[in-house]
Amino acid sequence: MKCDRCRRSEPVYFREYEGRSLCKRCFLQTIEKRAREEIRRYGGISGKKVLVAVSGGKDSNAALYILWKIAKRSRAELQAISIDEGIKGYRKKSLTKAEELCESLGIEHQVISFKEEIGVTMDQISELGSPCTYCGVLRRKLLNEYALKGGFDFVATGHNLDDEAQSILMNLMRGNIKRLLREENPKNGLVPRIKPLRLVPEEEVVMYSEFRGIPYYQGECPYVEMAFRKRIRDFLREMKKESPGVLFNLVRSWEKVRNLKSKPDIKLNKCEICGSPTSREICKACELMDIISLEFT
């Protein structure tokens, strides 16, 4: 069997949502291509100053690595930043991996902490309940302030497809439409964000990191168990097993809805078979009846 993309090499991975097998080289190329396209949506980083938020986990380390590859050719200026929230037994270990990668790539790495910036650690804040809400909001704020002060054009983060789908679903379920819309809006004192891995599924980020030999920390934050996000994550993981394209569908559908200027004028046709109103040429009922009659007659 050959790779379905280059038709030369041995495949190492079957990409279920595309229904094709890829060799290592093609796999890596498609991931990097997706990242470049994502960055292009923001006009590219050529000649720009980019602050990359790294935690030392697989996603942000992979994002930093890809940005470094892109920056080499485009005269972009990269700086890495880590936020030490003060989570015992977890954050210090992950930051070691962030530091290790930055050093090997020759990227300046800055660490700022909750303790120094706001006077308390996440371990203290966690006593108030819902730690992730505090953690996420405060981290965002610190990142944004740092980027504003330093005159950065972009803040880059490691969010992958799974994270993106989770955020959309969480915000929809909580009725946080404004927040969803604001998140995507680069104006109003928010330094624009880029997420190079936004359309790369979590398991492919892991593979990418393994293939490229990118160091990362595998542990998980002890507070993740308390997060609403975790329940959404587990649910989406189950869904993904059943139908591999669900996360892409969720993210792309939301994008379409977000970009609507007004309610679309959906013209209805008459089904060519039964005459019922339908947005297609043949209505869904007729399509299903077709399958039924094939099976049962």
Residues near Zn ion (CB under 5 A) are 3, 5-6, 9, 23, 26, 271, 273-274, 276, 283, 286
Q: Which of residues 224-243 bind ligand SF4 (CB under 6 A)?
A: 224, 227
Nearer to ligand SF4, 88 or 182 (CB): 88
User: Does 132 sit near ligand SF4 (CB under 6 A)?
Assistant: yes
Q: Which tokens go with 265?
A: 């004028």
User: Does 136 sit near ligand SF4 (CB under 6 A)?
Assistant: yes
Question: Where is 28: in which H helix or E strand?
Answer: helix 24-40
Residues forming beta bridges with residue 50, ordered by sequence position: 78, 154
Nearer to ligand SF4, 15 or 195 (CB): 195
Q: Do residues 52 and 63 make contact, with C-beta atoms less than 8 angstroms apart?
A: yes
User: Does 217 sit near ligand SF4 (CB under 6 A)?
Assistant: no
Question: Smallest distance, Å, CB 242 to ligand SF4?
Answer: 26
User: Does 142 sit near ligand SF4 (CB under 6 A)?
Assistant: no
Q: Which residues in 18-54 are b (16+ Cβ under 10 Å) and which e?
A: eeebbbeebbeebbbebbbebbeebeebeebebbbbb
The SS3 of residue 185 is coil
Which of Zn ion, ligand SF4, none interacts with 273 (beta carbon under 5 to 8 A by kind)? Zn ion
DSSP 41: T
Site string for ligand SF4, 90-129 (x = CB under 6 A): --------------------------------x-------
CA-wise closest residue to 198 among 40, 87, 84? 40
Rounded to the nearest 5 degrees, what angle is found at the Cα of 76, between the Cα atoms of 73 and 81? 125
Q: Where do contacts with ligand SF4 occur on this chain (CB under 6 A)?
A: 85, 122, 131-132, 135-136, 221, 223-224, 227
